[in-house]
Amino acid sequence: MSRLQTALLLALVLLACALTWQVQGWRLGRQLAQQQQAFALERQQLAEAAAAEVLGERAQRQVLEQQLDLNDHTHYQELLDAQQAQAHLRDRLATADLRLSVLLERDADPDLPATPGASGLDHGPARARLDPAHARRIIAITDAGNRTSASAATPTSAGINTRVANG
Over residues 44-59, the pLDDT tens digits come to 999 999 999 999 999 9
Instruction: Report the amino acid identity of residue 60.
Output: Q
Rounded to an integer, what is the distance from CA 13 to the centroid of its chain? 78
Helices (H), the chain: 3-94, 132-153, 157-166
Q: Which has the higher per-residue pLDDT, 3 or 145?
A: 3
- Across the strands, what pairs with 102? 128
First to last CA, the chain: 106
- Across the strands, what pairs with 101? 129
- Across the strands, what pairs with 103? 127
Band the pLDDT of 140: cuts 50, 70, 90: confident
Instruction: Report the amino acid identity of residue 61.
Output: R
pLDDT at 163 over 60: no
Band the pLDDT of 65: cuts 50, 70, 90: very high
pLDDT at 111 over 80: no
Compute the average pLDDT of residues 80-98: 83
Domain boundaries, the chain: 41-109+125-167
Instruction: Report the amino acid identity of residue 68.
Output: L
Compute the average pLDDT of residues 134-148: 75
- Rounded CA gap, 46 and 64, in Å? 27
Band the pLDDT of 92: cuts 50, 70, 90: confident
The pLDDT of residue 72: 97
88-101 exposure pattern, b = at least 16 Cβ within 10 A, e = fewer: ebbeebeeeeeebe
Instruction: Report the amino acid identity of residue 49.
Output: A
Q: Residue 135 burial by CB count (10 A; 0-12/13-18/19+): exposed, middle or buried?
A: buried
Band the pLDDT of 37: cuts 50, 70, 90: very high
